[in-house]
């Protein structure tokens, strides 16, 4: 799995960081997503898929 985030689309809602905290964080300044693990381990995959679905602006792309 590989993750691509588009920070231009991110509105800082935080769904990703709540859903997969090991993989996504947010910038202190404005809440924009920070991708901690572009290629997360298998145990994180389900949470990452969920985070991508929950992102209100579709800023998270998952390549399987």
**Class of residue 37 by CB neighbours under 10 A (exposed 0-12, middle 13-18, buried 19+):** middle
Residue in this structure with the two tokens 């381990």, named with its chain if needed? 41
Work out how close the CB of 60 gets to ligand SF4 at its nearest, in angstroms, rounded to a whole number.
5
Q: Token pair of 4, please?
A: 């691509």
Work out how close the CB of 45 gets to ligand SF4 at its nearest, in angstroms, rounded to a whole number.
17
User: Which of 15, 20, 40, 48 is the binder for ligand SF4 (CB under 6 A)?
Assistant: 15
Instruction: Using CB under 6 A, list all residues that contact ligand SF4.
Output: 5, 10-16, 26, 33, 55-57, 59-60
């Amino acid at each position: 799995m590989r993750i691509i985030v588009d920070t231009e689309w991110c509105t800082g809602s935080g769904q990703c960081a709540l859903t997969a905290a090991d993989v996504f964080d947010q910038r202190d300044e404005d809440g924009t997503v920070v991708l901690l693990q572009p290629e997360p381990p298998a145990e994180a995959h389900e949470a990452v898929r969920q985070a991508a679905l929950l992102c209100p602006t579709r800023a998270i792309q998952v390549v399987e």
